[in-house]
């Protein structure tokens, strides 16, 4: 009976996902609208706007990814305007390389330069496909080599201190407690937990549905502790926060509006400082902790990849290098000298 209920739950999630994708495509955020207005006022702005529309409608990229493309291409357009470039046919490899060097001179990080180059490559391939340029030289553009940095991870004891940081005497204790437990129990991103709907969570069977980057859907198990924290919040606090415009969002602010991604980051920082944790701890640190602690507990890499929503398992594989106890045990087991 439970298996049948779970299958029906998954099918209902898929139907809701299709509806949400349609709504997502139709709605432009205020941030994107603002940036596109500025882009339209610059030479080549019309081509870039068509490219951004293509990313939103056809590629199905996440809103934050589209905003990043907008910002990166806006900087490139300003550089083209200063270089007297008025048409897409005038864009040459030398121009792009000069722009990359200008970013380095401005002390931009290697990651920023690399991301800008990716945006320009995608734009040039779009221009080639739509006949705006004759030659596709995107593949010959080389960016900086990036060092692979290991993610910052806290110990299990530190995470428990963070989860205990909210004070029950505080007015938003139940909401903040549920948010922290949800972040660590599922490894969801800040934007994903901010957009979480009550209808996406099934407390009775311990699962939730998450819509991640590119509107990709995944189903994640929910621990009993996290489920209980969410239940306590739904019973004791959310009814008093909810307004007519709150819709079905799980986490609400004092005004009844859904918490933004920035507010989620701010709350995690607040409780991290209270728990005496590193100042560089972020929401994504809890995601790293979720993955690393699962792997150190014996979870297989493929399952962790599915729960995190990674397309490439190589992205998940980085967490195998973080667990020092695991690496030490492997070294002791297989190295010929003790």
Q: What is the model's pLDDT at position 203?
A: 94
**Interhelix angle for 30-40 vs 63-82, to 10°?**
20
pLDDT attached to residue 194: 94
108-159: pLDDT as tens digits: 888 888 888 889 988 988 988 888 888 777 766 766 665 567 778 888 999 9
Kind and range of the H or E run holding 202:
strand 201-202
Look at residue 296 in the predicted model and tell me its pLDDT: 86
Confidence at residue 58, expressed as pLDDT on a 0 to 100 scale: 79
Cβ-Cβ contacts under 8 Å for 236 (sequence gap 6 or more) = 174
**pLDDT class for 7, splitting at 50, 70, 90?**
very low
pLDDT(332) > 90: no
- 236 pLDDT band, cuts 50/70/90, is very high
Residue pLDDT, tens place only, 15-28: 454 444 444 444 44
* pLDDT score recorded for residue 6: 42
d(CA 215, CA 212): 5
Q: Give the contacts of 101 (CB within 8 A, at least 6 positions apart).
A: none
DSSP for 211-276, written as a single string: E-GGG-EEEEE--HHHHHHHHHHHHHTHHHH--TT-TTBSSB-TTSSBPPHHHHHHHHHHHHHHTT
Look at residue 324 in the predicted model and tell me its pLDDT.
67
Burial of 188 (0-12, 13-18, 19+ CB in 10 A): buried
Q: Quick check: 327 pLDDT over 80?
A: no
What is the rounded average pLDDT for all residues in the chain?
A: 84
Top-confidence range, 10-19, 125-134, 286-295: 286-295
CA distance 268 to 148: 26
Compute the average pLDDT of residues 326-332: 69
pTM summary value: 0.72
Report pLDDT for 20.
47
Q: Which residues are catalytic?
A: 189, 213, 284, 287, 310, 319
Asked whether the predicted pLDDT for residue 5 surpasses 90, the reply is no
The most distant pair of C-alpha atoms in the chain lies apart, rounded to whole Å, by 69
Give percent above pLDDT 70 in the chain. 85
Output the pLDDT for position 148. Answer: 65
Percent of the chain with pLDDT over 90: 43
Q: Quote the pLDDT of residue 93.
A: 85
CB contact at 8 A, 302 and 311: no
Distance CA 195, CA 261 (A): 8
Predicted confidence (pLDDT) at residue 103 exceeds the cutoff of 60: yes
pLDDT of residue 143: 63
pLDDT higher at 278 or 51: 51
Domains of the chain: 31-140 (1.10.150.130), 156-334 (1.10.443.10)
Query: Which SS3 state, helix, strand or coil, does residue 197 take?
Result: strand
Q: 55-93 burial, b if ≥16 CB within 10 A, otherwise e?
A: bbeeeebbbeebbbbbebbbbbbebbeeeebeebeebee
pLDDT at 29: 66
Q: Is residue 12 predicted with pLDDT exceeding 60?
A: no
pLDDT above 70: residue 8: no
């Amino acid at each position: 009976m439970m298996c049948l209920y779970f299958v029906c739950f998954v099918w209902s999630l898929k139907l809701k996902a299709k509806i949400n994708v349609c709504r997502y495509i139709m709605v432009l955020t205020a941030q994107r609208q603002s940036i596109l207005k500025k882009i339209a006022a610059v030479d080549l702005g019309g081509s870039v706007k068509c490219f951004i529309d293509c990313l939103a409608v056809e590629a199905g990229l996440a809103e934050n990814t589209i905003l990043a493309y907008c910002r990166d291409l806006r900087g490139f357009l300003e550089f083209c305007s200063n270089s007297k470039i008025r048409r897409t046919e005038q864009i040459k490899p030398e121009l792009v390389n000069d722009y990359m060097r200008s970013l380095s001179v401005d002390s931009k990080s290697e990651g920023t330069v690399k991301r800008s180059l990716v945006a320009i490559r995608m734009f040039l391939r779009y221009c080639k496909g739509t006949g705006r340029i004759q030659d596709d030289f995107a593949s010959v553009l080389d960016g900086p080599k990036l060092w692979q940095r290991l993610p910052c991870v806290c110990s299990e004891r530190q995470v428990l201190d963070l989860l205990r940081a909210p004070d029950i005497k505080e007015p938003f204790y139940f909401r903040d407690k549920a948010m922290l437990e949800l972040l660590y129990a599922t490894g969801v991103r800040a934007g994903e937990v901010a957009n979480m709907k009550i209808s996406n969570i099934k407390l009775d069977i311990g699962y939730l549905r998450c819509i991640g980057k590119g509107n990709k859907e995944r189903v994640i198990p929910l621990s009993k502790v996290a489920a209980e924290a969410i239940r306590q919040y739904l019973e004791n606090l959310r009814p008093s926060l909810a307004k007519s415009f709150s819709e079905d969002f799980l986490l609400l602010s004092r005004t009844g509006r859904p918490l933004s991604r920035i507010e989620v980051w701010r709350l995690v920082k607040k409780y991290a400082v209270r728990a005496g944790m590193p100042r560089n701890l972020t929401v994504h640190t809890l995601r790293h902790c979720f993955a690393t602690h699962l792997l150190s507990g014996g979870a297989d890499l493929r399952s962790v990849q599915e729960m995190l929503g990674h397309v490439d398992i190589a992205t998940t594989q980085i967490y195998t290098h973080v667990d020092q106890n695991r690496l030490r045990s492997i070294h002791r087991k297989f190295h010929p000298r003790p």
